[in-house]
Amino acid sequence: MKLVVVLLLLLQVSGSADSRCFCEVTGDLDDCACDVETIDGFNNEQLFPKLQTLLESDYFRFYKANLNKPCPFWTDSSHCGLRDCVVQPCSPNEVPEGIRSSSHNKYSAEANEQLNECEKTQHLGAVDVSLSDETREALLEWNKHDDEAERFCVVDDEESPDSQYVDLLLNPERFTGYRGPEDWRIWTSIYEENCFKPYTVKRPLMPGSFHSSSGGEERTFYSWLEGQCVEKRAFYRLISGLHASINIHLSARYLLEDSWFQKKWGHNVSEFRKRFDSELTAGEGPKRLRNLYFLYLIELRALAKALPFFQQPSFRLYTGRPEEDQKHKELLLQILQLARSFPLHFDETSLFAGDEKEAAKLKDDIRLAFLNISRIMDCVGCFKCRLWGKLQTQGLGTALKILFSERQIEALPTSSNRRPSFQLSRQEIVSLLNAFGRISTSIRELKNFRSLLAEEG
């Protein structure tokens, strides 16, 4: 009798994996005026190819990271010993001089010279406005505080002497073998401590519940989630979507063969099903995929809103190679204009639209929670996973910064003689586009997994 039950369960699991993974990944998305099919067509046919070309350019392939920062939350210092977890940093001569010379947002040398000359002229014959050392230090602290008040993630890697440039094309995100209790500890900390929920309400699918068929935790969690304000739902869905995107990358670039002669990476359908099949995830897998589309809409909206910043004449994708820099800026602008042309953007005005004081408090709570999540990335034991985790959380944090800086972006100066109040560092720009590139790739990979699951029957 037991054997018959097992066989029936196996047939149920293997019979229609395609429909069970994608059964809910269709139609309108919650809290949005968009649908899955529109995103699929727009991303796969229009945006994805251009974006991949841009991300292969020198400006976007080199990312600066400190992968040796200690975990700020627990003392476990164990690191993944697997060889595929290793990150190979760049030697100085591998990074274009224009990138190495400064970690800040690059304006042209001509624009900087013009600004300096303009400032000198304005000060000639003017009242002495020099500051004491104490006052200057105080102002720097105030500016630092003001900058940090708008940040959604930790950005100190940019100035750290322990940071190194990494070639993202030579250190791709893929399955490394890093899994188990250490991996679960990271995601448990993110979900259980940073997603605005009472401890009594558990997120579904914790370790050991893979084969739970009751769905009790799922029903409790999602009924609680639907009762929350749109901002808290959105925050959870962003984190869930990021988690789903990472899992798709690991399933799509899985180590299929490892011998003395070669390593073969490719799609692992079983791994994908384990993470997204409704039967194997107590019904949660398809919801994760829907959250991926929600994340896509949020970051796409941020790219569209950032267009005026990148259109400034003074802005350059500076590597020290003028012709290439200009060509890649034109490609970037094409991508951002394409993003702006998307017909069904997420309406961010639906967020924080209530009582002004309550909305400000909620916004700050969300900012601090996301800031906390970005710090958790320094606890990831696998260095390659840590690299891509840091990049993608910083990219999402930059997207949120853009969405909540609408007034500053609208007030950008039209003249190159004035520095804009809204700034993005090179680090933020590189993480923003690469993080969106990861999500765009995930959407594209879903098409591949649909086909592979359909072939299995």
* Catalytic residue status for 85: no
- When computed from its CA atoms, the radius of gyration of the chain, rounded to whole angstroms, is 23
Q: What is the pLDDT of residue 56?
A: 97
Task: Identify the pLDDT of residue 192.
Answer: 85
Residue 95 is classified by DSSP as S
Query: Which tens digit of pLDDT belongs to each residue from 199-233?
Result: 788 776 554 444 444 567 777 888 888 888 888 89
* Per-residue model confidence as pLDDT tens digits over 285-306: 999 999 999 999 999 999 999 9
Identify the pLDDT of residue 282.
84
Please state the residue numbers annotated as binding site for FAD. Answer: 174, 176, 187, 240, 243, 275
Of the candidates 87, 242, 225, the residue with the CA atom closest to the CA atom of residue 167: 87
Per annotation, catalytic residue among 21, 80, 379, 385: 385
- pLDDT score, position 130: 43
pLDDT for residue 25: 81
At 360, the amino acid letter reads: A
The reply to whether 34 belongs to the active site is no
pLDDT of residue 106: 44
Contact status, residue 56 vs residue 169, Cβ threshold 8 Å:
yes
Phi/psi of residue 254, each to 5°? -100, 145
Show me where the domains of the chain are located: 36-98+148-197+227-456
Q: Helices 426-456 and 230-252: crossing angle, nearest 10°?
A: 70
The alpha-helical segments, DSSP class H, found in 56-131 are: 58-61, 97-100, 109-123
Residue 315's beta-bridge partner residues?
A: 107
Residue ranges of the chain whose pLDDT lies below 70: 1-17, 19, 76-82, 102-158, 204-215, 415-420, 457
